[in-house]
Amino acid sequence: MFFSRFITPFGIAVTEFIGKDEKFAAKNLPECYQKLRDLRPWLASLNYADQVHGDSVAVVDGLGSGIRCVGEADILLTHEDNTGLLIRTADCIPILFLSRTENILGAVHAGWRGLKKKALSKALAVVGAKTQDLQFVVGPFIAQTSYEVDEDVRNEFNPMASTPLENGKYLLDLKAVLVAEFDALGVQSERILWQSADTLTSADWYSARAGDSDRNFALIYRTHKGRRINQAG
């Protein structure tokens, strides 16, 4: 589990990445969501989406309390306190972000399809935030050394982001693709916190390519000024 806390004018913003943790072992995702919520009683709501590897946006402001599915989306945004944004990954990239000057939080699920569609750029365009005021936290995802793809996927990106193999396939570097998008957006490297781990080879994280059916969770929320938050989980 990775946990980060950021002090902003609007309160304390928290990012969490949760992998293979016995406290969240459950028969199904709804039970996992309930455990996540129970361990964070300060959250008024926990919001997730039916992820479809796209660039659809769900703004979850004013939707009430509880555990909520907000429909099909791979980008979640909010301006509200005590509102959790939750995305699931198992090799794809979880990207969480917050503004240090505005009342904005976001979560992006991006595999190669999301990167192709520039889901992160779409998220920032929707919120209209200044990139120099944003803090990004990127969770564990599959490393280039583990991510073998066919030529059709490789051809969706700059050839410099992949390495050819003798079997006619390629090792695709998702981080290089994302870094190029950050550069195009004008995001400086010091504004990005990378939580480095290869989901395929690490014993701490779920990987679809390893055959795991369970998922890692990436969670971001903000509490109002002055509230003390202890690390949950």
What the chain holds in terms of domains, given with CATH numbers, is: 2-223 (3.60.140.10)
Q: Supply the DSSP symbol for 230.
A: P
State residue 53's pLDDT score: 96
What letter represents residue 143's amino acid? A
State residue 225's pLDDT score: 53
Backbone angles phi and psi of 141, in degrees to 5 = -155, 175
Q: Which two tokens stand for residue 211?
A: 């055959």
Please, what are the averages of pLDDT over each run of 10 residues along the chain (233 residues)? 89 95 82 92 95 96 91 96 96 96 95 97 92 95 98 96 97 98 96 95 96 95 62 47
State residue 78's pLDDT score: 96
The whole-angstrom separation of Cα 132 and Cα 142 is 27
Sequence-distant (≥ 6) Cβ neighbours of residue 169 within 8 angstroms: 148, 149, 150, 151
* CB of 6 closer than 8 Å to CB of 18: no
Residue with tokens 């699931």: 88
State residue 62's pLDDT score: 87
The whole-angstrom separation of Cα 13 and Cα 224 is 9
Please tell me the pTM assigned to this model: 0.94
Q: Supply the DSSP symbol for 214.
A: S
